Amino acid sequence: MRKWKPDWTTLTLAGVALVLAFVAWGQGGLKKVLDGLAGGGQTLLSVVPLLLAAFLLAGLVQALVSREVVEQWLGSSSGWRGILLACLGGALIPGGPYVYYPIAGVMLQSGAGLGVLMAFVTAKNLWSVSRLPYEFAFLGTHLTLIRYGLTLVIPPLAGLLTEALFGGAISRIREAVR
């Protein structure tokens, strides 16, 4: 197996876990420290099937939606049709910020409008299809449906609003990044 490289997120969370273990030790000694570990392990074991299914689903979405397709699609789109298309692309594009921001950067340089970019990023954040399995798995059907339902209008709205208010700033933004 390859050597595991620690990253900041893991280290931060490990720090939080240590602090919590320390608090548990102060409250109930070693027994409470072990109780916490055992409880966490039990929860983890109980969601293993769920995790496997969620990761499989996320991987398949990733394999089926390539970044070339999204880039081609959204390259120089603008107007309200462009905004809707960008929402769709943002919802479908899998991967973390290290994936979708570079794509948004390509869109910016190939002529996409400010509203289109805003719609793309906001839809990725709020409509993300590849994130859906995890949210569904851990927070349950009820909470997930409410959350998606309430944020459904936001990405196109944010795109239109941004275009109307700040649309003219796009060339300065494009120049500054180039």
Chain residues 147-176 in contact with other proteins, contact rule CB under 8 A: 147, 150-151, 154, 158, 161-162, 166, 169, 172-173, 176
Pick one of 29, 37, 69, 81: the residue that binds other proteins (CB under 8 A).
37
Is residue 91 at the binding interface for other proteins, with CB under 8 A as the rule? Answer: no
Q: Which of residues 116-145 bind other proteins (CB under 8 A)?
A: 117-118, 121-122, 125-126, 128, 131, 133-141, 143
Q: Quick one: angle between helices 114-127 and 154-166, nearest 10?
A: 160
CB of 25 to other proteins, least distance (A): 11
DSSP secondary structure of 118-147:
HHHHHHHHHH-TTTHHHHHHHHHHHHHHHH
Does residue 76 belong to the site contacting other proteins (CB under 8 A)?
Answer: no
- Compute the distance between CA of residue 168 and CA of residue 58 in angstroms, rounded to an integer: 37
Of 79 and 169, which CB lies nearer to other proteins in the complex structure? 169
User: Minimal CA–CA distance to 68: which of 42, 36, 93?
Assistant: 93
x/- string (CB under 8 A) for other proteins, residues 11-30?
Answer: -xxx-xx--xx-xx--x---
Q: What CA–CA distance (Å, rounded) separates 51 from 133?
A: 9
